[in-house]
Amino acid sequence: MKRVTVLGSTGSIGRSALDVIRMHPESFQVVGLCAGSNTSLLARQSEEFKVEVLGHFSPASPLPAKKCAAVGMNAPVEVISRSAPDIVVNGISGAAGFLPSLEAVRAGAALALANKESLVIGGAFLIAEARKHGVPILPVDSEHSAVFQCLQGENAESVRRIILTASGGPFRNRPAGTFRDITPAEALAHPTWSMGRRITIDSATMMNKGLEIIEACWLFGVGLDIIEVTVHPQSIVHSMVEFKDRCTKALLSAPDMRQAIAYALSWPERLELSLEPLNLGTGLGLEFFPPDTEKFPALSVARAAMDRPETLPCIMNAADEVAIDAFLKGRLRFDGIVEVVKKTMDTLSGSTVDSPEDVMELDRQSRKAAEAILS
């Protein structure tokens, strides 16, 4: 049985991971759980899976009596250290997931990575540590899982293009001139996926796809020049890989994160899953469109950030998190999110980092700069 620790266990990724484990109790033992502030659900999860090693971020939300837990921002790292897992599912949202990802690979655990920010803000450090300790980073993002699966058994030198698909979000057909009037409720209404609040807003601005471009560079060791984005509203084709003979592999399934999570947990094998199959008997239509980079400038901002991959993506991500929080609280218009990101990148463009600790300090400085711009 694989010993599994789930970080972000009460979020959408964490709940989906535990659902996969429920389907295969003979294959997995949950040895650690860490959550944000939803300690009531965390307590129920710990009871169901008989988990003793628990953690949560919020001291204001204690666990019930007799529940021992690591508490605070270092809780995920402590949970990994105490639980000694074979594999860590990192479903934490935002830059807070970076140091736990580092701890997982340093502990010799495979890393099932949904926290794309780990690679966006500190890809060079995380990849180096994973190689040093000989452990795999297994993508949980549906797009990167699709690419990973398409590359199995293939020679990396034969890859011509990696094509990441994007749903286009809820505003694909909305005129750019009306973006100033978009409300949080409208932006949170994703047409095909059920996700956390930050990633849903990022999908609406298409910053999420920009983050995924950067993530793909680190995961697959490729340059920006071979990574493309296509808008695919049905979210059935999760990504594609074109090879030098002009043949293209694609991975298709109904939009359900449990499939990508299951593949990461069971790799290199596959699990039987009790999910709805893809119904090809209903006249399934698949559409693909080029992204509108003028209406959604976040894609170009993310590509520009890779001019300085050690620092600018970290600044971009931190500013994006601050701007999204401001939008959700009514402090910023929807069309101002990417503007705050660009101004913050300009402000801190001369920054340097030499260690993971420097990365987290740059993250803090970037948040302060973004808040100053908002003010």
Would you say residue 263 lies in a domain? Answer: no
152 and 117 part of one domain: no
pLDDT in tens, 30-86: 999 999 989 999 999 999 999 999 999 888 777 766 567 789 999 999 999 999 999
The answer to whether residues 52 and 68 touch, using CB atoms and an 8 Å cutoff, is yes
pLDDT of residue 97: 96
169 and 122 part of one domain: no
364 and 246 part of one domain: no
| Surface-to-core class of residue 243, CB atoms within 10 Å of its CB (0-12 exposed, 13-18 middle, 19+ buried) | middle
pLDDT in tens, 164-217: 999 998 999 999 999 999 999 999 988 776 677 888 999 999 999 999 999 999
Tell me the average pLDDT of the chain: 94
Q: Residue 339 is part of a domain; what is its CATH number?
A: 1.10.1740.10
350 and 218 part of one domain: no
Neighbours of 113 (CB within 10 A): 30
Q: How far is CA 130 from CA 125, 127, 156, 243, 265, in A?
A: 9, 5, 19, 27, 17
124 and 177 part of one domain: no
135 and 168 part of one domain: no
Return the closest-CA partner of residue 138 out of 299, 2, 15, 11.
2
- This prediction has a pTM of 0.94
pLDDT of residue 55: 94
**Residue 62: enclosing H or E segment and its boundaries?**
none
Would you say residue 273 lies in a domain? Answer: no
Residue spans of the chain under pLDDT 50:
none
Would you say residue 86 lies in a domain? Answer: yes
147 and 292 part of one domain: yes
Domain boundary among 124, 139, 154: 139
* Upstream peptide bond of 268 is cis (omega within 30 degrees of 0): yes
325 and 360 part of one domain: yes
CA dist 221 and 159 (Å) reads: 11
The boundaries of the domain holding residue 353 are 307-375
Would you say residue 372 lies in a domain? Answer: yes
pLDDT of residue 121: 97
Which residues pair with residue 166 across a beta bridge?
A: 231
Q: What residue type is 53 in one-letter code?
A: V
